[in-house]
């Protein structure tokens, strides 16, 4: 299982297959919404916006209200929208690990 939360979800963007397609194409996931990111003073210099990258790369991206707890579980991937989603995401990760 893989678990990524908040800005850590951006690390998934570099996971590609040999044919350069994105490993998580056709997955459902979440991460920081544009509305959460735009509040950052560093917004203009962010190297990647996960919401845009995910949609452009063939994934289904969902987000809840700003700072709300929101977790998406798809196959072996657990993603959390923001740090408030940490506990729920880790609980799902533990559930997946124990189910094997």
Tally the domains of the chain: 1
Q: Does residue 8 have a pLDDT over 90?
A: yes
Burial 55-70 (b: 16+ CB within 10 A, else e): eebebebebeeeeebb
CATH for 66? 3.40.50.880
Which tens digits make up the pLDDT trace of 74-88? 999 999 999 999 999
Domain span at residue 50 reads 2-99
Query: Average pLDDT, stretch 58-66?
Result: 98
Q: Which two tokens stand for residue 30?
A: 């979440």
């Amino acid at each position: 299982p893989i678990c990524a939360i908040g800005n850590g979800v951006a690390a998934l963007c570099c996971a590609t297959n040999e044919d350069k397609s994105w490993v998580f194409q056709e997955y459902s996931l979440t991460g920081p919404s544009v509305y959460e990111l735009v509040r950052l003073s560093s917004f203009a210099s962010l190297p990647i916006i996960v919401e845009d990258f995910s949609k452009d790369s063939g994934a289904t991206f969902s987000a809840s209200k700003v700072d709300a707890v929101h977790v998406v579980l798809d196959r072996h991937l657990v993603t959390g929208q923001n740090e408030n989603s940490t506990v729920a995401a880790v609980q799902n990760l533990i559930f997946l690990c124990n189910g094997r």
